[in-house]
Amino acid sequence: MFLSVVVPCMNEQDAIPALVARLEVVIAPYKERAEIILVDDGSTDATWDAIVAAQSRVPQLRGLRMSSNRGHQVALTAGLEAARGGRIFMLDADLQDPPELLADMMAMMDRGYDVVYGSRREREGETWFKRASASAFYRLLNLMSDVEIPRDTGDFRLVSRRALDAVLAMPEKARFVRGMFAWVGYRQIGIEYTRAARTVGETKYPLRKMIRLAMDAMTGFSTRPLRLATRLSFVSLGVAALMMIYVLHSMLAYQTVPGWASVIVAISAFSGVQLLTLGILGEYIGRLYLEAKNRPLYFISEDTETPVPVQLKTRA
Exposure of 80 by Cβ count < 10 A (0-12 exposed, 13-18 middle, 19+ buried)? buried
Does 37 help bind ligand UDP (rule: CB under 6 A)?
no
Report yes or no: 51 and 38 within 8 Å, Cβ to Cβ: yes
Report yes or no: 146 and 221 within 8 Å, Cβ to Cβ: yes
Does 8 help bind ligand UDP (rule: CB under 6 A)?
yes
Does 60 help bind ligand UDP (rule: CB under 6 A)?
no
How many residues bind ligand UDP (CB under 6 A)? The answer is 16
Does 205 help bind ligand UDP (rule: CB under 6 A)?
yes
Q: What Cα–Cα distance (Å) separates residue 45 from each residue in 11, 106, 203, 245? A: 6, 34, 15, 65
Does 50 help bind ligand UDP (rule: CB under 6 A)?
no
Site for ligand UDP in 117-176 (CB under 6 A): none
Distance CA 190, CA 176 (A): 18
Contact pick of 4, 96, 145, 219 for Mg ion (by CB under 5 A): 96
Measured from the CB atom, is 113 or 176 closer to ligand UDP? 176
Contact pick of 40, 94, 97, 155 for Mg ion (by CB under 5 A): 94
| 3-class secondary structure, 155 | strand
Report yes or no: 63 and 302 within 8 Å, Cβ to Cβ: yes
Measured from the CB atom, is 126 or 270 closer to ligand UDP? 126
Contact pick of 75, 90, 141, 158 for ligand UDP (by CB under 6 A): 75
Contact pick of 93, 163, 177, 297 for ligand UDP (by CB under 6 A): 93
| 3-class secondary structure, 234 | helix
Question: Choosing among ligand UDP, Mg ion, none, which partner's interface includes residue 220 (Cβ < 5 to 8 Å by kind)?
Answer: none
Site for ligand UDP in 184-203 (CB under 6 A): 203
Q: What Cα–Cα distance (Å) separates residue 50 from each residue in 57, 58, 114? A: 11, 12, 33
Classify residue 196 by its DSSP letter.
Answer: P
Name the minimum Å distance from CB 225 to ligand UDP.
Answer: 24
Determine how β-strand 61-66 pairs with β-strand 34-40: parallel
Does 204 help bind ligand UDP (rule: CB under 6 A)?
yes
Measured from the CB atom, is 64 or 166 closer to ligand UDP? 64
Name the minimum Å distance from CB 92 to Mg ion.
Answer: 5
Determine how β-strand 34-40 pairs with β-strand 3-9: parallel
| 3-class secondary structure, 301 | strand
Positions in the binding site for Mg ion (CB under 5 A) = 92, 94, 96
Positions in the binding site for ligand UDP (CB under 6 A) = 8-10, 12, 41, 69, 71-72, 75, 92-94, 96, 203-205
